[in-house]
Structure 1
C-alpha cells in the first residue's frame, strides 16, 4: 500500500488530477491575483517608500532583509506574516506563544522559511511603491510567488524578466540564476553533438552515451554540472566496473523491495519506524530521439510484462 503522497505523485505523473486539486490550484491563483497592486503601491508610498528613497531592487531587498533579521517590533512582523500567508486565526496564538518563549529572536533565525516568504512579500510591495515593478501587470503577483521556492533549489531557471530582475537578490552564493533561453541554447548544442553518435551508441541509453554533459567549462550546462552535481568530473571517485551477474543480482535485490508485503496502515506509520520505504517512479523507455534506458533492457522488460 502506497502512502497518500506517493499515490498522488503517481497520478500526477500520468496527468491525472482530481477535482479537489484543480480547485486548490484555482483558489491559490485567485488569492494571488486578487491583490490590488495599485492600492498596494499607494499604501507603501504613504509609508515613505518612493522612487527617491528606494532607487533599485537591491535597495528594496535590503529593506526587506533588514526587517526579518531585526529583533525590533516582533508583533508587527508576525502580523504581516499572518496577513500575507492567511494563517488561520485559531493557530496564531500558539505561533506567537512559541516565538515569545524563544525570546523573540529574529524571525530569520526562529522560522527561516517563514522569514523568506515574508521577505519576498515585503520586497514586492516596496518595489511596487518605488515603481521598480509595474503595478499595471497583474501577472506580476503570480510570478513573484515563484521566488518562494528559492530555498529549495540549487539552480533557478526562468525566462521571465521579473525573475531575471529580482531572483538574484534572494540567492545565496551556492545558488545560480539561469536565463532560460541560454540554457535552451546550450541543451540544443548538446543534442546536436549527440545526434552524431551511431545508432548502436544511442540505443545503449542516454546515461551510457552521455553520463555527464558534453563540452567544457565554457559551456553553461557543463559549468552548472561541475558546480552543483555530485560526482562531477572534479570528483576523485573512480567508477568500478560491475559484472553482468553482479548487475543482475543488484537489480533483483532492488526489485524485491517493490514486491515485499506492506502493512495495510503503512501510510499512517512514521517513516522513522519503517525498515525500508519503496517509492516507484514511472520513467519512459524512450523520449524523443533518445533511449533513456538501454533499448535492449527496455524491450526485455516489455516482453516480461506481455
Structure 2
C-alpha cells in the first residue's frame, strides 16, 4: 500500500474512472468527512452541462477509492473526545472507527465492517439516494448560501480580542497562533473555540470541569488537535476580515475545512487554488502537497505503462499487478513512494501453499463469526491500543473501468 494521502473533491473530478482505479491502487487514502458532505451536496447543485444532479454524484462515487481507503472520524468528534481526555495521535495516520474487538486463539483481533459511508457510495454509483440524503443536500446548500462569512469573521476577531490585522496569509497564521498562546486568555479561547467548532453544548460543563481540574492550562499543550482546528478557523476568519480570502464565496469555508484533517496524512492532493496557497503553511516537515494536475499527468503515464503489458499479465488482476508503481524515477508516484519511505521494488510472487491459504481463510471466517456474536469479551483501552491484528472488510469490484482488478479464479 502506498503513502497515506488526503484528497479533495476537485482532484477526483479531474480523473477518468481508469485513472481513479490506478490512484486507488497506488495510494492509501484518508477520506475526510468533508469529502462525503461535498459529494452529497451536489444533489442540489445545478450542472451547466447535460448531466442530471444524480449523475454528477454518481460519477464522483464511481471514482472514489475503495481498495486502500480509510474514512477518518469527524474533527468534531475528535475535538470533543480530546477535551474529555482521549489522546489524539497526529502523526500522519488516519483515525478510524474503533471496530469490534474479539479474542481469537489467545490474540486480540479488531474487525471493521464496511463503513456506512462506503455502503452509501455503493448506492450512489447506481443513482440510488435515500430521502434523508436528498433533504440533507437541500439543507446544506441553503445553510451555505445563508451564512454571512463576513459577519462571522468580524465577530471572531472581536470576541477573541484580536487587535492586529493580517497583511498576508503568513501573517494571519502568526496572529492566530499568538492568540491561542496568549497568557490570561485560555478560558476565553476554550469556550469560544468550543462554540466555533460546533461541539456538543450538552458536554460543555464536563469539558470545562476537566480543564479547570487540570490547572487551567494553555490550549496548545492541553489539547493539540483542538488547537489545530481552532487555529485553522481563526486564520481563515482573519483573512476574510481583510478580504484576502473572499467572504462572498460560500464554498471557501468548506474548502478550508479539509485542513482539519492534515494531521492524519502524509500527502495532500488538490487542484483548488485556495488549497494551493494555504495548505503548505500548515504542513509538517514530513508532509507534502501535490497538485491534482501533477498526479493526473502521472496517472496518464502509468495507464500507458500498464496498458502496454501483455494481456496475459493483465489477466492476473491489477490488485496483484499494480501493488507497487514501476521501479523507475520518471514516475512521480514512484518518487512519492520513496520520499515517504515505501519500497518500489517488485514484490516476489507469493508461493503457492494451499494448506496455508486454507488456514488463513479459516482464521478470517472465525474472527468474523466471533465479531457477530451478541455477547463478546470486553477489553481495556490499553489492550485495544495495539491489537495483534485488524481486519477491514471492503467491497472491491472485479472489473473497474477497463481494468480487471480481481481475476475470476479468486473467490
Shared fold, TM over 0.5: yes
Write the deviation string for residues 126-147 of structure 1: whole angstroms up to 9, x where unpaired: 1112222112212112211121
SS at match of 2:289: strand
Question: Using a 3 Å threshold, how does the CA distance of structure 1 residues 56 and 64 change in structure 2: closer, same or farther?
Answer: same
Question: Using a 3 Å threshold, how does the CA distance of structure 1 residues 190 and 10 change in structure 2: closer, same or farther?
Answer: closer
CA distance in 1, matches of 2:135, 2:195: 22
Match of 2:395 among 282, 290, 297: 282
Residue of structure 2 in register with 1:98 after alignment: 210
Residue of structure 2 in register with 1:264 after alignment: 374
Residue of structure 2 in register with 1:252 after alignment: 361
Higher helix share: 1
CA distance in 2, matches of 1:168, 1:189: 26
Matches within 5 A, 1:39-54: 39-43=151-155, 48-50=163-165, 54=166
The 8 Å contact of residues 207 and 292 in structure 1, kept in 2 or not, is answered as yes
CA offset at residue 213 of structure 1? Answer: 1.3
Match of 1:11 among 107, 119, 129: 119
Q: Scaled by the length of structure 1, what TM-score is found?
A: 0.79
Question: Using a 3 Å threshold, how does the CA distance of structure 1 residues 71 and 252 change in structure 2: closer, same or farther?
Answer: same
SS at match of 2:409: helix
Q: Scaled by the length of structure 2, what TM-score is found?
A: 0.61
Question: Using a 3 Å threshold, how does the CA distance of structure 1 residues 260 and 43 change in structure 2: closer, same or farther?
Answer: closer
Residue of structure 1 in register with 2:192 after alignment: 80
SS at match of 2:227: helix
Point out the more displaced range, 247-256 or 272-281: 272-281
The 8 Å contact of residues 49 and 130 in structure 1, kept in 2 or not, is answered as no
Number of paired residues?
292
Larger Rg: 1
CA offset at residue 176 of structure 1? Answer: 1.3
Higher strand share: 2
Point out the more displaced range, 155-164 or 83-92: 83-92
Structure 1: stretches of 5+ with no match in the other structure: 302-306
CA offset at residue 7 of structure 1? Answer: 6.0
Matches within 5 A, 1:163-174: 163-174=275-286
Match of 2:289 among 177, 185, 189: 177
